[in-house]
Amino acid sequence: MSGPYRVIQWATGNIGARALRAVIEHPELELAGLWVSSPAKAGQDAGVLAGVAPCGIVATHSVDAMVATEADCVLYMRQGTDIDELCALLVSGKNVVTTRGDFHHPPAMDPQVRARVEAACQAGGTSIHSTGSSPGFVTEALTLPLLSLSRRLDCLTIEEFADMSSRNSPDLLFRVMGYGAAIGAFDPRKVEHVRRNFADSLAQIAEGIGIEIDEWVAAGEMSPAAKRVEIAAGVIEAGQVAAQRITVSGLRGGKPALRFRANWYCSRDIAHADWELRESGWRIRVEGDTPLDVGITFPVAPEHYAAFTPGLTAHRAVNAVAAVCAAAPGIRTTVDLPQVIARFP
């Protein structure tokens, strides 16, 4: 395609607003439209909603108006996935890059939903791709080149670390996530949510590298604070929940072959001394004939962290627009696509 890609931004939450700004400022993208979930935002200039100068594109709450708008791609970042909405966009000739995790591994999708989406892609000559930072970049895009150094893989382990101590969100930490509570059973719904998202992403990698996984299992664990700790959101007493982790494992012959572990904590001074809690970031370990241990941290001050994190997910999606627009019709995965390359002003 010649000329800039015309892009519709779909929703303006924390990640969507960051993506919107990135599209407006991108040298090879042109904002064609903006859909907002809140009627209160409808009618406002997209630039103002993105925190930059007005750009002349007015936000709308109308799905029909956006389906009728000429565009090459939609950055789909709303809460929840509306398959009817997505299919209408795909049939209308618009490719879709989404931070929703529904399309990481097509064989794991509901067969009827997959058939509908594939049919919409064929009708519109379009493609759809799920991406983000995690799952997405760290479980797929970064993993593939690391594994390209090996000829035998015993186990791949990806660990994510999130220090919640500087987050001043008492309702989220204490009510929703359960910090500061008595140690009890891990919420099985939370475990299943993480299992589904990360098993789908890692299953794509397993299929790409030719490893057959027998089953995907997940388990949640909690660790109490070893002593009283004060965090931005309040106080956690000794013996109350201060750290949590969920491990998702793809088993082959009864042993983990691919594994993801989310480590969330408000204090590193916990009763489980064997939990190796690192600063926020990722650790990727490859066990096999070419062992690797790769660590990634985020050198950002705590007061800037909330402004920094949306870009980890939003920017990957924005940078993928050109690759997805050029892809063959259908549900496209990281294994299918060429390397995503950022283009800077």
Tally Cβ neighbours within 10 Å of residue 39: 9
Q: What is the pLDDT of residue 61?
A: 96
> CB-based contacts of 185: which residues, under 8 Å, 6+ apart?
none
- One domain for residues 184 and 298: yes
274-289 residues labelled b (16+ CB within 10 A) or e (exposed) = eeebbebbbbbbbbee
- One domain for residues 173 and 243: yes
Alpha-carbon gap, residue 269 to 165, rounded angstroms: 12
> Is residue 111 predicted with pLDDT exceeding 70?
yes
User: What type of residue is 107?
Assistant: P
pLDDT band with cut points at 50, 70 and 90 for residue 302: confident
Q: What is the pLDDT of residue 306?
A: 85
Tally Cβ neighbours within 10 Å of residue 50: 25
Q: What is the pLDDT of residue 19?
A: 98
Average pLDDT over residues 190-218: 96
The DSSP result for 128-181, as a single string, is EEE--BTTBIIIIITHHHHHTT-S-EEEEEEEEEEE-TT---HIIIIIIS-TTS
- Could you read off the pLDDT of 159-185 as tens digits, one per residue? 999 999 999 999 999 999 999 999 999
- Could you read off the pLDDT of 41-74 as tens digits, one per residue? 999 999 999 999 999 999 999 999 999 999 999 9
Whether residue 309 lies inside any domain: the answer is no
- One domain for residues 155 and 38: no
Average pLDDT over residues 130-136: 96
Average pLDDT over residues 114-136: 98
Whether residue 190 lies inside any domain: the answer is yes
Whose structure tokens read 């062992």?
A: 291
Burial of 18 (0-12, 13-18, 19+ CB in 10 A): buried
> Is residue 128 predicted with pLDDT exceeding 70?
yes
Alpha-carbon gap, residue 197 to 248, rounded angstroms: 10
Whether residue 83 lies inside any domain: the answer is yes
Q: How far is CA 210 from CA 145, 173, 204, 258, in A?
A: 15, 40, 10, 12
Q: What is the pLDDT of residue 218?
A: 98
- One domain for residues 77 and 144: no
- One domain for residues 87 and 210: no
pLDDT band with cut points at 50, 70 and 90 for residue 305: confident
Whether residue 313 lies inside any domain: the answer is no
309, two tokens: 């994190």
Domain count, the chain: 2
Q: What is the pLDDT of residue 18?
A: 97
Q: What is the pLDDT of residue 303?
A: 83
Looking at residue 327, what DSSP letter applies? Answer: S
Whether residue 210 lies inside any domain: the answer is yes
- One domain for residues 145 and 123: no
Alpha-carbon gap, residue 217 to 81, rounded angstroms: 25
Backbone angles phi, psi at 61, to 5 degrees: -100, 5
User: Is residue 135 reached through a cis peptide bond, with omega within 30 degrees of 0 on the bond before it?
Assistant: yes
> CB-based contacts of 160: which residues, under 8 Å, 6+ apart?
134, 138, 260, 261, 262, 263, 281, 282
Q: What is the pLDDT of residue 119?
A: 98
In this structure, are residues 106 and 333 in contact, taking their beta carbons and an 8 Å threshold? yes
- Could you read off the pLDDT of 77-106 as tens digits, one per residue? 999 999 999 999 999 999 999 999 999 999
- One domain for residues 147 and 295: yes
Whether residue 57 lies inside any domain: the answer is yes
Altogether, the residues listed in the chain come to a count of 345
Q: What percentage of residues in the chain have a pLDDT greater than 90?
A: 95
Whether residue 342 lies inside any domain: the answer is no
Alpha-carbon gap, residue 237 to 233, rounded angstroms: 13
Q: How far is CA 93 from CA 73, 116, 270, 318, in A?
A: 8, 15, 53, 18
Average pLDDT over residues 4-13: 97
> Is residue 326 predicted with pLDDT exceeding 90?
yes
- One domain for residues 41 and 161: no
Q: What is the pLDDT of residue 1?
A: 47
pLDDT band with cut points at 50, 70 and 90 for residue 345: confident
pLDDT band with cut points at 50, 70 and 90 for residue 3: low
Print the domain residue range for 46.
5-131+320-331
Average pLDDT over residues 144-169: 96
Q: What percentage of residues in the chain have a pLDDT greater than 70?
A: 99
Alpha-carbon gap, residue 204 to 287, rounded angstroms: 19
- One domain for residues 43 and 126: yes
- Could you read off the pLDDT of 241-271 as tens digits, one per residue? 999 999 999 999 999 999 999 999 999 999 9
CATH number at residue 92: 3.40.50.720
> Is residue 2 predicted with pLDDT exceeding 80?
no
> Is residue 214 predicted with pLDDT exceeding 50?
yes
> Is residue 10 predicted with pLDDT exceeding 50?
yes
Q: Which of 281-290, 301-310, 335-344 is predicted least confidently?
A: 301-310
- One domain for residues 97 and 170: no
Whether residue 312 lies inside any domain: the answer is no
- One domain for residues 28 and 11: yes
> CB-based contacts of 235: which residues, under 8 Å, 6+ apart?
180, 228, 229
- One domain for residues 127 and 145: no
